[in-house]
Chain A
Amino acid sequence: MTALRRFATNRLAVVGAVALAVLVLFAVLGPLVYPTEQVATDLGAANLPPGVDGHPLGTDALGYDNLGRLMVAGRVSLLVGVLAGALATVVGTLWGAVAGYVGGVVDAVMMRVVDAGIAIPAIFLLLVLSTIVRPTVGMMIVVLGLVSWLVPARLIRAEALSVKTRDYVVAARAMGATHRRTVLSHVIPNTVGTVVVNATFQVADAILLVAYISFLGMGIQPPTTDWGAMLNDGINYIYQGAWWLILPPGLAIVIVVCALNFVGDGLRDVVDVKGRTA
């Protein structure tokens, strides 16, 4: 209750949550309300400007209705983003928690692996991987998840290190609590806030990464598409002033990533306050 109210005091977070809900509804339910042909091309109706022939946002070079395409592309972007973000969060949390709690040599080795992973720019790694494995939606989720778990791993490690030294954890150890009990009943519940907040940012990042890979032409293959791929398709027409191919998918990405960041900030306020009063 109070957590919800605290979240609500951050106006941007509320705006973000609403925008997120609207975009998800748009992508998931949109095609049911506004069905369009998104598999077969229609070159006769290619490159129409908005408003012509009942295409509110025009059509692209292959004659796909742009509004409908925005919806189905959104499904892919959001799905890959959420699942890859979730995968990265789970892997990163486990890795970081183990490194932070166990400490010592184990920690040092585990964190050098993380350092190395972070030293390789994610996009470079993703491009190499997508030349090796054929990028499908499922593959994309796995690959993105596997390059994105590093930052949460660092974050959770730091958190675990700090929780581990708090008096209540030390007291539990002094009472004879097992490691298992200490981790399950004290360490994890007290890092869960950080994990949840970070997961939000992780999803935002994954959505951006999908867009980058698709924009670079190494993403999920047609006819499946996502917002980044739409931008990649549209860039060739940018000099002809075909703004309707660029702005809608671009803005969709900006809005969804912004919204997730706002929501994440709001969640952090909630989590932080709880930590502070304790």
Chain B
Amino acid sequence: MTTAIPAASGTPGAEAAAPVPVRAQRGGFGRFLIRRVLQALAVVLVVSVIVFALLHALPGGPARGVLGQQATPEQIAAFEAANGLDQPVVLQYLSFLGRSLTGDLGESYLLNQSVADAIGLRLPKTLLLTGLSLVVAVLVALPVGVYQAVRRNRAVDYWLSTLAIVAYSTPTFFLGMLLILLLSQTAGLFPAAAPQGNGVLDVLSQPAGLVLPVLTGAVPIVATFSRYMRSSTLDNLGEDYVRTARAKGTAYRAVVLRHVLRNSLTPVVAMLGYYLPVMFGGALVVEQLFNYPGMGLLFWSAAQSSDFPVLLGCVLVISVATVVGSLLADVVQALLDPRTRGGMR
């Protein structure tokens, strides 16, 4: 799925739209790391405020959210007193923050399970699905992007670019439906239902069922990242060092593989971190479509039944995962670049 990022699809504006990175320069890697971590903490804090605000925006407030729509006024009053909801908002927020930090995200009132447990059971499966899609996508997108850049403005580049826009404009669920129609219903190659089971291993034991969900998740990533890779490679092919390398008698192929590839990858790695929220959003749709027992499906069923503790718990966990992912991507990018890495010594 693609939402919330498309303007950045491998376009010149993409890098500009990327999160404001702490420019790691000669100041040193240590300083960069500290600033970047602080920045991530600030973001997590703002996220927690947003989630807290949502909790209070629930119809009837958090009490009704937790107790359900059938709760009596007496029950609500008792709940509010017991949970300190009659206290000032700031104190409430602090206690919410404290509970969240210790992993206490409340109880699902449908699953007969704590929210933390519910998420803990499903998050690994979502990470597996997303991770597989990402790996498949990157293995396709990077070579395609480089190939397009090398063949820039030829017919093949033109068609691949157009194909990428079309793939990118196709909603994930529609794509999934088409794949089910073609590969499952018509050709009968793969099952349309995703593997079921409690653990990651259960899921992995049914690889055929994973094919369609992984493929559906991978296509939009390929569409986006082949464009990023193309534009990043093009930028680097225009750099002076390419000319220097050619002038010393390095064959064009070797110039691309030995010099350009490494330098083009660096910004794309950072974009991967930026793309994480989109990938998690995509996982939700894929899981719902294929009935894959991950966190997306948990979230979707919770939305259907207004299971607010689960909904907000998922939002919090996913957002923190996103922030941590972007942080890692930025750190990896900094490590890949000797200009920032140098400061570590």
Q: Which of B39-47, B105-113, B135-143, B195-203 contacts A (4 or more CB under 8 A)?
A: B39-47
Q: Measured between alpha carbons, how far is A150 from B39 in the docked complex, in Å? A: 17
Mark B12-49 against chain A: 1 for CB-CB distance below 8 A, else 0. Answer: 11001111100000000000000000010011101100
Q: Given A113, A120, A151, A218, which contacts B319 in the complex, CB threshold below 8 Å?
A: A120
Q: Measured between alpha carbons, how far is A235 from B192 in the docked complex, in Å? A: 13
Q: In the complex, how many angstroms separate the beta carbon of B331 from the nearest chain A beta carbon?
A: 16
Q: In the complex, how many angstroms separate the beta carbon of A259 from the nearest chain B beta carbon?
A: 9
Mark B144-174 against chain A: 1 for CB-CB distance below 8 A, else 0. Answer: 0000000000000000001001101111111
A172, CB-defined interface residue at 8 Å = no
Q: Measured between alpha carbons, how far is A253 from B12 in the docked complex, in Å? A: 25
- Interfacial chain B residues near A235, Cβ < 8 Å: 173, 177, 289
Q: Given B13, B18, B58, B288, which contacts A216 in the complex, CB threshold below 8 Å?
A: B288
B278, CB-defined interface residue at 8 Å = yes
Q: Measured between alpha carbons, how far is A5 from B124 in the docked complex, in Å? A: 53
Name which of B3, B42, B174, B285 has the most chain A CB atoms within 10 A of its CB.
B3
Say yes or no: A261-B168 contact (C-beta < 8 A), given A118-B277, A124-B318, A235-B177.
yes
Mark A93-126 against chain B: 1 for CB-CB distance below 8 A, else 0. Answer: 0000000000000000001110111111111110
Say yes or no: A121-B2 contact (C-beta < 8 A), given A132-B54, A208-B171, A258-B165.
no
The answer to whether B169 touches A121 (Cβ under 8 A) is no
Q: Given A12, A111, A124, A212, which contacts B171 in the complex, CB threshold below 8 Å?
A: A212
The answer to whether A121 touches B54 (Cβ under 8 A) is no
The answer to whether B285 touches A216 (Cβ under 8 A) is yes
Q: Given B43, B173, B299, which contacts A119 in the complex, CB threshold below 8 Å?
A: B43
A37, CB-defined interface residue at 8 Å = no
Q: Given B2, B46, B303, which contacts A131 in the complex, CB threshold below 8 Å?
A: B303
The answer to whether B169 touches A241 (Cβ under 8 A) is no
B180, CB-defined interface residue at 8 Å = yes
B1, CB-defined interface residue at 8 Å = yes
Q: Which of B211-219, B256-264, B305-313, B332-340 contacts A (4 or more CB under 8 A)?
A: B305-313
Q: Measured between alpha carbons, how far is A243 from B13 in the docked complex, in Å? A: 38
Chain A residue nearest to B164 in the complex (CB)? A261
The answer to whether B4 touches A243 (Cβ under 8 A) is no
Q: Given B3, B39, B308, which contacts A123 in the complex, CB threshold below 8 Å?
A: B3
Q: Given B2, B6, B11, B315, which contacts A124 in the complex, CB threshold below 8 Å?
A: B315
Say yes or no: A120-B277 contact (C-beta < 8 A), given A127-B300, A128-B311, A155-B7.
yes
Q: Measured between alpha carbons, how far is A123 from B281 in the docked complex, in Å? A: 6
B221, CB-defined interface residue at 8 Å = no
Q: Measured between alpha carbons, how far is A268 from B311 in the docked complex, in Å? A: 39
Q: Given B17, B166, B178, B314, which contacts A154 in the complex, CB threshold below 8 Å?
A: B17
The answer to whether A128 touches B54 (Cβ under 8 A) is yes
The answer to whether A209 touches B4 (Cβ under 8 A) is yes
Chain B residue nearest to A235 in the complex (CB)? B177
B284, CB-defined interface residue at 8 Å = yes
Within 193-233 of B, Cβ neighbours of A (below 8 Å) are at: none
Q: Given B13, B165, B274, B277, which contacts A155 in the complex, CB threshold below 8 Å?
A: B13
Mark A230-251 against chain B: 1 for CB-CB distance below 8 A, else 0. Answer: 0100010011010100100010
Q: Measured between alpha carbons, how far is A207 from B145 in the docked complex, in Å? A: 27
Q: Given A113, A117, A239, A257, which contacts B169 in the complex, CB threshold below 8 Å?
A: A257
Mark B40-69 against chain A: 1 for CB-CB distance below 8 A, else 0. Answer: 001110110010001001110000000000
Q: In the complex, how many angstroms separate the beta carbon of A236 from the nearest chain B beta carbon?
A: 11
The answer to whether B20 touches A119 (Cβ under 8 A) is no
Q: Given A115, A238, A268, which contacts B177 in the complex, CB threshold below 8 Å?
A: A238
Say yes or no: A159-B3 contact (C-beta < 8 A), given A215-B171, A231-B173, A253-B174.
no
The answer to whether B303 touches A119 (Cβ under 8 A) is no
Say yes or no: A132-B58 contact (C-beta < 8 A), given A124-B280, A262-B165.
yes
A35, CB-defined interface residue at 8 Å = no
Q: In the complex, how many angstroms separate the beta carbon of A269 from the nearest chain B beta carbon?
A: 11
Q: Measured between alpha carbons, how far is A231 from B171 in the docked complex, in Å? A: 11
A-B contact pairs, 19 of them (CB 8 A): A112-B43, A116-B47, A118-B274, A121-B278, A121-B319, A123-B284, A127-B303, A127-B311, A131-B311, A151-B8, A154-B18, A154-B20, A202-B7, A238-B181, A239-B185, A250-B174, A250-B178, A254-B170, A254-B171
